[in-house]
Amino acid sequence: MSWRDGLRKGRSHLLFALVLAAGGLLVVNIEDDTLEQETGGTPRSGSSPAISTVAPSTPTPPAPLPSVSKLASRAAPRASDKKRAYVQIGAYQSEARAAREGRQVLRELGDPADIGVRIEPFRSLYRLQLGPLAAPDAAPLCQRLVSQGRDCRLVWRDQKTSSKTGG
């Protein structure tokens, strides 16, 4: 092998290494931008260890369910009341993140069987909604979520719309 062939092979290896380094730098910058958007702040380098210890938490018991007498005394829905309520608790850039957050909120609420997670695409976001709920049940659930430090907004849908966009 001549010294020219060796130099040519060496240059191709150097170029390949530079391309890999540039690609790695690009991925790190994309991840930093995503983290900044999700957390609302810039990542601090070197301010905290990569692995931090977390004290084990004791699970909090779910809020008590209403008694049977309260449920029985609730008035039956009127036939003219065609609206159903959803509680919107966030909007996320990825459908997977919205689904994860929805499962987490349901676990925090004690996994109620009558509340489902609905993810509704809207422009470049995915709206996370819980429901469908009867109108009298929506406001107390929203108040409970707000007391837990979550955002909450009531969204009304008629039954035709909610059946088409189930999730």
pLDDT by residue (tens digit) across 48-66? 444 444 445 555 566 565 5
Q: What is the pLDDT averaged over residues 16-38?
A: 78
What's the pLDDT at 64? 61
What DSSP designation does 115 have?
A: -
Residues 96 and 159 in one domain: yes
Q: What is the percent of the chain where pLDDT is above 70? A: 65
Tell whether 76 is covered by a domain.
Answer: no
Residues 18 and 86 in one domain: no
Tell whether 28 is covered by a domain.
Answer: yes
Tell whether 61 is covered by a domain.
Answer: no
List the domain range (segments joined by +) for residue 5.
Answer: 1-37
What DSSP designation does 56 have?
A: P
Residues 86 and 158 in one domain: yes
At 3 the three-state DSSP class reads: helix
The answer to whether the beta carbons of residues 102 and 128 sit under 8 Å apart is yes
**Please, which residues have CB within 8 angstroms of residue 30's CB and are 6 or more apart in sequence?**
none
What's the pLDDT at 127? 94
What's the pLDDT at 61? 62
| The pLDDT of residue 70 is above 50 | no
pTM to 2 decimals? 0.47
Tell whether 55 is covered by a domain.
Answer: no
Phi–psi pair at 130, nearest 5 degrees? -110, 140
Residues 86 and 160 in one domain: yes
What's the pLDDT at 60? 59
How would residue 105 be classed by pLDDT, with cut points 50, 70 and 90? very high
What's the pLDDT at 114? 86
Q: What is the percent of the chain where pLDDT is above 90? A: 31
Q: What is the pLDDT averaged over residues 142-150?
A: 91
The answer to whether the beta carbons of residues 87 and 131 sit under 8 Å apart is yes
The answer to whether the beta carbons of residues 99 and 117 sit under 8 Å apart is yes
Residues 98 and 156 in one domain: yes
Burial of residue 10, with CB atoms counted within 10 A of its CB: 0-12 exposed, 13-18 middle, 19 or more buried: exposed
The answer to whether the beta carbons of residues 85 and 110 sit under 8 Å apart is no
What DSSP designation does 104 have?
A: H
How would residue 14 be classed by pLDDT, with cut points 50, 70 and 90? confident
Average pLDDT of every residue of the chain:
74
Residue with tokens 């499962």, as numbered in its chain: 103
Q: What total of structural domains would you count in the chain?
A: 2
Least confident of 9-23, 90-104, 119-133: 9-23
- Residue 141 CA to residue 119 CA, distance in Å, equals 18
The answer to whether the beta carbons of residues 125 and 161 sit under 8 Å apart is no
Residues 16 and 87 in one domain: no
